[in-house]
Structure 1
Amino acid sequence: MKKTFSLSLLLVTSAFINPCFAAGQHSFALSHYGAPSDTVTKATEFMAKRANELSQGRITIHLHPSNELGSLDTQIDAVRMGTIDIVVGGNPYYTGLNEELNLLDLPFLFQDTQHVAKVLNSQIGSELLNSLEKSGLKGLAFYEVGFRDLTNNKKQIKSVADLAHLKIRTTPNPAHIEAFRAWGANPTPMAFNEVYFSLKTGLIDGQENPIHQIWNNNFHETQKYLSLTHHAYTVAPMTMNLDRFNALDEEDQKILLQAAQDGAELEKKLNIEENKLNLEKLIQYGMEVEYTPDTASFQAGAKKAWDDYAKKFGDQVIQQIVGMK
């Protein structure tokens, strides 16, 4: 009921979000999850500026951060329907459209940012991004949420045994849910914009997100312990309504793709810088940090998630990715 209402609201307001195009002029609404201070906000602001500059003013992008147009599920559905033009959302929110995308969320699949770049810039990355066209979405670029770390308010996570019975918010991705279940936790998927309140009220014990997300969304106000597990990497595809993209002339298509990629590259650089700065802020705030958790103890649960994926899609691509590191 809530989702239906949200979509109806978007349909009613679409005339305001997507004004009619004058000849040669294009105005697009871009929605995302990031807080005003988050790197995805800075990156999409840069993308909008680049698109406007490269098109000599023909393309204007209006930004809607902080999930102000609804949950990510609602935003992605709205882009498919054409009531929002462009969205940036974590990969787990796309996996309902194409289960093969679960590949990118497998725990401990990626070693570091260089390994991620090799994969996403390869044919594997291109094919996964292009696979969304079957769902009416044009993949413009891979933005990122980043490498995920664990926080909670009960105890420090030094090994997988410390996760036992903790209620941890996860994404809706089956690979995440099954991994945390195998690790002994009680995985609790929920919308990102509900996490802070749920932590504050004790509805959940902890959550898992990159350092910049933990700081920019004030999760440190409710969490005592941080463990740098880097247990999974999350991409955040930027997608556009496919029909709207195809309606553009070739030059403007190239401009949007270039501007989107420029913004994605900026975001990745900002995340490296801000994760270092924000970790120091979290420590100064009083969070206790486990720098070297026993990640080997997580491997059995990670392998189960890999095996579950391989049963559906085979392990050929998994092995190709492992071989790229």
Structure 2
Amino acid sequence: MKAFLPILTSTILAFSAATADAKDLIRVAGNFAIEHSSSLAMGVFKTELEKLSNGEIEVNIFPAQQLGGAAENVQAVKLGAIELMWVGTAYLTRTVPELEVIGLPFQFETREEAFSIVDGPVGAALDGKMAAEGMTSMGYMELGFRQLTNNVKPIKEIEDIAGLKIRLQPNETHLATFRKLGANPVAMDVKELYSAMEQGVIDGQENPFAIINVAGYPEVQKYVSNTGHFFDFISVVANEKWFSGLDAAKQKMITDAMHTAVSFQRELAAKQDAEALDKLTAAGMTYTAVSPELAAKLRELTSSVAVETKSRLDAELVTLLDAETAK
């Protein structure tokens, strides 16, 4: 990380010099593939904001790990080296552990349920937790229901998961879930994932179908199942000091443009997810649907994880979550 930051700084300075005549410059970093719905949504953000500001604000988008991996982007935004990022919410849980409350196993049945939580009082409370860490939440996009892939065997029963070395995001709740399933979970930044699978360092990973597709994982993975064990979000986050330092008119333009982008992404994400499984099987992956019996076993084995996670988080937030979920 120490070696990365000077490189990031010099890269940003070079871009800043090239656009010195711009009245305002916003640099936005992400680790998702260019074809992913979230990266396309950032293109919408750029177009909308530059239009709303009559060209007075220029937006430079850096997708596909151009400014480092997810963990590096989080640090860069916290430090103010870049203004904005879009990142899997799990990468923020080491900084804001309360975000784990929206990443519990088998928490949501539908994407509509998931967004009703982050768009309501729970999301507002989490935004406050992020602000206390120097980050302004700009909205939640869909990452989606996470599905399991591996290179060893099709997942037909719970015993097939036992012993598999599975890459997960750096999220304690996620790691605990796979330990309960008997797997050997490994926290790893996404920038290392493809090569780790290609070299056999790990057996598999878990991601939404659309991510598995656009990231090229069928090239290095054989089996895929619709485990749907977590519904995951993408957080759009700004450096709080930078954003609060803008005048009210510019803040509104940015939030309005981001609202348009997030709405666009959620709609496109649902479409991409629906189409992705066919693309995975067409690319050569073997699909094994999770049986009702296996689904019930997965829920049973991981039921204690939610209880354990909630016990170490803000009690007031947990009470709010339970109340909103009950609705």
For this structure pair, what is the TM-score category when the shorter chain's length is used for normalisation? over 0.9
> Alpha-carbon deviation of 1:321?
4.4
- Structure 1 counterpart of 2:297: 297
CA distance in 2, matches of 1:22, 1:185: 51
Q: Which sections of structure 2, spanning at least 5 residues, go unmatched? A: none
User: Given residue 37 of structure 1, which amino acid in structure 2 is its aligned partner?
Assistant: E
Name the CA shift for 1:205/1:23 in 2 (closer, same or farther; >3 Å).
closer
User: Given residue 323 of structure 2, which amino acid in structure 1 is its aligned partner?
Assistant: Q
| 1:170-222 per-position Cα deviation (integer Å, ceiling 9, x unaligned) | 11100000000010000011110111111111111110000110000110111
Name the CA shift for 1:253/1:175 in 2 (closer, same or farther; >3 Å).
same
> Alpha-carbon deviation of 1:41?
1.1
For residues 55-204 of structure 1, the aligned pairs below 5 Å read 55-204=53-202
> Alpha-carbon deviation of 1:23?
9.8
User: Given residue 305 of structure 2, which amino acid in structure 1 is its aligned partner?
Assistant: A
Aligned-residue identity in percent: 27
User: Given residue 33 of structure 1, which amino acid in structure 2 is its aligned partner?
Assistant: N
- Structure 2 counterpart of 1:316: 319
SS at match of 2:230: strand
- Give the number of equivalent residue pairs: 322
User: Given residue 256 of structure 1, which amino acid in structure 2 is its aligned partner?
Assistant: I
SS at match of 1:56: coil
Name the CA shift for 1:19/1:248 in 2 (closer, same or farther; >3 Å).
farther
Which residue, 248, 251, 255 being the options, matches 1:250?
248
Moved over 6 A (4+): 20-24
Q: TM-score, normalised by structure 2?
A: 0.93
Name the CA shift for 1:287/1:13 in 2 (closer, same or farther; >3 Å).
closer
Q: Is the 8 A contact 1:106 1:302 kept in 2?
A: no
CA distance in 1, matches of 2:321, 2:182: 25
Q: Is the 8 A contact 1:150 1:206 kept in 2?
A: yes
SS at match of 1:135: coil
Name the CA shift for 1:109/1:122 in 2 (closer, same or farther; >3 Å).
same
CA distance in 1, matches of 2:109, 2:61: 33
Q: TM-score, normalised by structure 1?
A: 0.94
RMSD of aligned residue pairs (Cα, Å): 1.8
Q: Is the 8 A contact 1:129 1:237 kept in 2?
A: no
- Larger mean CA deviation between 153-162 and 69-78 belongs to 153-162
- Structure 1 counterpart of 2:279: 281
Q: Is the 8 A contact 1:196 1:219 kept in 2?
A: yes
Q: Which sections of structure 1, spanning at least 5 residues, go unmatched? A: none
| 1:293-324 per-position Cα deviation (integer Å, ceiling 9, x unaligned) | 42211123322221211221244244224313
User: Given residue 62 of structure 1, which amino acid in structure 2 is its aligned partner?
Assistant: N
| 1:25-82 per-position Cα deviation (integer Å, ceiling 9, x unaligned) | 2111000011121111101011111111111112211011111111211111111111
SS at match of 1:301: helix
Name the CA shift for 1:301/1:317 in 2 (closer, same or farther; >3 Å).
farther
User: Given residue 306 of structure 1, which amino acid in structure 2 is its aligned partner?
Assistant: A
